[in-house]
């Protein structure tokens, strides 16, 4: 069974990402749009960039041309700030991921809208990066629903065995995480540690909804059982 975890609001919180995002937008495009009021939840970093700059009035051709430079600049800005404003693991995340990584019957990876460089910095700051040998990132595709299939291919290459959506669980904190899991036929576990409530995540039709990972045993059981036939 393959377990694919989101990062922000699912495993971690805090850090300087939004400030780094704003500064990189200004340096690259000369505009940032309403970056401090914008909803980033469940979206890929390229999509967020496009939304903000469209709202700021930039033409699509300029956004497309500047996006590679922005991505490099954002990761640089994030790295420069993260030691002073670290990312922290949510309650239970360290114990849960440590237990799952030590099992022989499950494999764990990432499916996140973060650029790969941003994901690495955030999870290293939180002390979690080394548990995730594979993943799919916002730098792989702007459409979140395309990411699980990329993660499945990378998992197959890494572990030398095929993985299918039906033996996969996507774990995240937004309705968009649930939707991306559904896109490959995966089971979904939603955790109400981000901006969405238990009721909202239940309405998104997640297979399991958790209040958080603080009860590590209950969280582990819910996640693993969601992927069983």
Q: Read off the pLDDT of each residue in 190-204 and give the average, rounded to a whole number.
A: 97
pTM of the full predicted structure?
0.96
Could you read off the pLDDT of 173-190 as tens digits, one per residue?
999 999 999 999 999 999
- Is residue 57 pLDDT above 90, yes or no? yes
Helices 116-126, 60-82: crossing angle, 10 deg rounding: 20
Could you read off the pLDDT of 120-149 as tens digits, one per residue?
999 999 999 999 999 999 999 999 999 999
Domain boundaries, the chain: 2-14+87-226, 17-82
Q: What is the mean pLDDT of the chain?
A: 97
Could you read off the pLDDT of 145-176 as tens digits, one per residue?
999 999 999 999 999 999 999 999 999 999 99
With 0-12 / 13-18 / 19 or more C-beta atoms within 10 angstroms meaning exposed / middle / buried, residue 8 is buried
Q: Is 17-82 assigned to CATH 1.10.150.240?
A: yes
Q: Read off the pLDDT of each residue in 36-60 and give the average, rounded to a whole number.
A: 95
Task: Examine domains 2-14+87-226 and 17-82 and report if their fold is the same.
Answer: no
Note every long-range contact of 48-52, with CB atoms under 8 Å and residues 24 or more positions apart, other chains counting: 48/21, 48/113, 49/25, 50/142, 52/25
DSSP state of 167: G
- Is residue 229 pLDDT above 90, yes or no? no
Torsional sign, CA 220, 132, 115, 24: positive
Q: Considering only residues 229 and 79, tell me which one the structure prediction assigns the higher pLDDT.
A: 79
Stated as kind and residue range, the H or E segment containing 168 is: strand 168-172
Contact 44, 142 (CB under 8 A): yes
Residues of the chain with pLDDT > 70: what percent? 100
Write down the architecture of domain 2-14+87-226 according to CATH: 3-Layer(aba) Sandwich (3.40)
pLDDT for 228: 87
């Amino acid at each position: 069974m393959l377990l694919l975890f989101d990062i922000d609001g699912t495993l971690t919180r805090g850090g300087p990402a939004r400030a780094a995002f704003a500064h990189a937008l200004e340096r690259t495009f000369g505009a940032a749009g309403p970056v401090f009021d914008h909803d980033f939840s469940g979206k890929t970093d390229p999509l967020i960039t496009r939304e903000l700059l469209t709202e700021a009035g930039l033409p699509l051709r300029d956004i497309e041309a500047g996006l590679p430079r922005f991505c490099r600049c954002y990761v640089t800005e994030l790295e420069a700030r993260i030691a002073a404003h670290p990312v922290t693991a949510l309650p239970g995340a360290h114990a849960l991921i440590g237990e799952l990584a030590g099992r022989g019957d499950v494999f764990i990876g990432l499916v996140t809208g973060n650029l790969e460089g941003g994901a690495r910095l955030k999870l290293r700051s939180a002390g979690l990066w080394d548990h995730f040998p594979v993943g799919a990132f916002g730098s792989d595709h702007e459409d979140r629903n395309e990411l699980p299939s990329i993660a499945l291919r990378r998992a197959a290459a890494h572990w030398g065995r095929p993985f299918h959506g039906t033996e996969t669980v996507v774990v995240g904190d937004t309705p968009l995480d649930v939707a991306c899991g559904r896109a490959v036929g995966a089971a979904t576990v939603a955790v109400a540690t981000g901006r969405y409530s238990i009721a909202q995540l239940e309405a998104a039709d997640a297979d399991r909804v958790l209040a958080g990972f603080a009860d590590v045993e209950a969280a582990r059981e819910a996640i693993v059982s969601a992927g069983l036939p």
